A and B are shown apart, each in its own frame.
Chain A
């Protein structure tokens, strides 16, 4: 993307008025998407975003500037602006010599941009047909295909030079079913860090059927109960809850600002001994996977909680430098136009020992939650709220009626302590994690498990 000698000279410019650290992050992203709605293929969209963000760190202050102009002159102008923003005082020339890191980007078998657009369109039509075939009550089907190729380059004044080529493909189906009780929606949207070969393992028609069945099932839904109940989270359904309610509180930037309930708790019991929580950027093919993070650090498998004991937080470069330790490969940014932050990758609770069917059988009255719709957490308090988009009542150890949309609320650390059964199955879920307005692809995963008590915000008694 940018020649090594240009990068070295731009880093020199960035540090011309002092500063402890300088970095050039360049990105070239091409994306394409296609959408079908109402049985009709809507417009295809292609996009290109290319530019570089330059930061200069001096003490606790970071100066940042970005530019879409990757010429030496454009980069130098941005480096000068970042240096000025960092309010550098003392002058002096610093020479930076870069060493290229050996990085092995994931092997992509079929680059999406080599696939004829007509083939992508055909997938949409197949999914539309499959969803409509599920039931006459399916009235609306929306299908979306999206791929992106993101090439990044990171060079910094520590001498690091590393590149990655990140390819992601996603397929989503949303259905609306209409019945006597009104309209209900169903959604399914798997994504992987793969090229078009994702469709070797992902059947678009099956994705469509899952989405359609979900909408149809909810037509018979009754108002959810309100109050405290045991909640069984089906494999894959609840990972996002632990991502939000626990994962964010384990991000070193929030811990450093005393904005996490997990601050100062390394080595302490923070969860049920049944709980191990891992963030793993190397998890093959998963939606949040990469070879290097957006600061050039290799992705890692990081154990955050082991058998209930808090073992470590997640770190980016700047916070790690301050503590005199290494980054854990969790420094990410949505685009070159923003500063990196500590972010999760693929966050999951590994499988336990219980038979998932037994967990349901052992629950006298509770909620069986099959899909969560996303949610929100206050990391300072650990309080969270999540919408259940597919859930059922458990009565006398059996799954009975479907429940209308309702929220689950609770507290992250408390939910971790209340996990009293962990299944021997496992699944992941892909989504976009938002933090301070930046969205990055992540996945979350978990086996079927039970939280002995959560507050359900339904309208029934």
Chain B
């Protein structure tokens, strides 16, 4: 285990050696990552588990005779790396030829400078493990401080320092690194037969940026306000989405705006460019150049400098996200939206998807309707949403809103609509843009009407 804070040279050297092995008529791309992770879980006032690890991986893509092959390994040992390159070459002989295969040509992003982003904190690497342990214990204790909290089912701290190098035989070379630290707690409240659960978190780029009290308070508040929840009668009514719920639904929309889904016909947005797919107040943007976004990155997973991409502007579908392959197939250029782990070829996806915020505070939104359902959390989103038809039906927990304030809590309900209808039916967009762990941002959203199924 090296004390070196930065592996740039080492990772780039490995990637350069792999890409440099390309033969005539062959393109080779190497994606090499190294990550240092710590995870602490507290339980019952003690440390339940503490895990420290360094993870390395390499993925190699080979394109020859218009065919593509891929191989990976969770090791950077020279003999393993050689085996990975040989396997990728062998695999390339079995796929069907595709005229659109090909690594990114640096000419495709000529003139686009990578954003300068400060996403790395050396400090995180020098935080002693004891301090991480102490934070997890502090969070667990804080999450119990309300007498209505019956138990803490998980309280923990985690961090990662991730570095990735990409080198291709056609002249792409990039190195990106980032740190992230987070803590979260999940708590239980309720007596007799009742149990309510809720979750709170804090995220930053290093331990010092975390707000333990806020994570604990959010977990407590989001749990105790559900106490006494009952199943309401089925009906149609206005729905207010919590920022985390908004982010989840935007995630489904974002995947349907990916070039891969669109080209394969697995998207409700196929052939709709230039059409009004949402109300005029809706502008949906993916912008990995925003330093506050936890998905921010200087380059995408093919080594292309990132930039802002407007997907829906003023309600009109402006375009899709693309990596090199989907762009070529669609007759356009990459939007630097390649995403991947080292175990697969690049896919397409957003890194910092968000709606442009409106002007109303969450309280203002609640006061803008006589009655609404406030959805605090949803479950079954992936099984309950069809990105092709746009139908969705998800389990929900939340509270009724009356007279601008929370009224009785509700449980065991589903909300259903179609994503298309929902996008046209947004009645208010909150000003409370919040960047969330895992990438995008959420904000409070008021949807004119949805079906709530209950008793």
Instruction: Enumerate chain A interface residues (CB-CB to B < 8 A).
Output: 34, 37-38, 40-51, 59-69, 77, 81, 85-87, 117-118, 121, 139-140, 142, 176, 178, 182-185, 224, 226-228, 254, 257-259, 261, 337-339, 372-376, 378, 380-381, 383-387, 389, 404-407, 409-411, 455-459
Contacts and interface: CB of A to CB of B under 8 A. Distances in A.
The residue among A42, A47, A48 with the most chain B CB atoms within 10 A of its own CB is: A47
14 contacts: A44-B94, A48-B72, A339-B51, A374-B380, A376-B380, A383-B412, A389-B383, A405-B389, A405-B391, A457-B393, A458-B453, A459-B393, A459-B416, A459-B451
B451 A62 contact: no
Contacts of B98: 40
A420 B242 CA distance: 38
B91 A410 contact: no
A374 B382 CA distance: 8
Contact of B379 (A43, A45, A385): A385
B388 A458 contact: no
Give the dominant DSSP class at A's interface.
Answer: strand
A7 B386 CA distance: 50
Which 4 A/B pairs are nearest by Cβ-Cβ distance? A457-B414, A385-B395, A387-B383, A385-B380
B189 to A, nearest CB: 10
A372 B47 CA distance: 38
B26 interface: no
Given A228-B455, A405-B389, A140 B80 contact: no
Interface string B1-27: 100000000000000000000000000
B74 interface: yes
B434 interface: no
A385 B343 contact: no
B198 to A, nearest CB: 11
Interface string B374-385: 000001101110
B107 to A, nearest CB: 24
Contact of B52 (A45, A85, A376, A458): A85
B157 to A, nearest CB: 13
B92 to A, nearest CB: 7
A459 B417 contact: yes
Contacts of A259: 151, 153, 188
A121 B95 CA distance: 8
Nearest to A378: B197
Interface string B304-323: 00000000000000000000
Interface of B: 1, 43-44, 46-56, 61, 67-75, 77, 80, 83-84, 87-88, 90-92, 94-96, 98, 129, 150-151, 153, 188, 195-197, 231, 234, 264-266, 343-345, 379-380, 382-384, 386, 388-389, 391, 393-395, 411-417, 451, 453-455
B1 A41 contact: no
A61 B49 contact: yes
Given A47-B343, A50-B74, A339 B49 contact: yes
Given A60-B46, A85-B129, A380 B451 contact: no
A182 B389 contact: yes
A258 B52 contact: no
A45 B48 contact: no
Contacts of A339: 49, 51
Nearest to A37: B264
B93 to A, nearest CB: 8
Contacts of A411: 412
Contacts of B61: 43
Contacts of B151: 257-259
Nearest to A457: B414
A374 B386 CA distance: 13
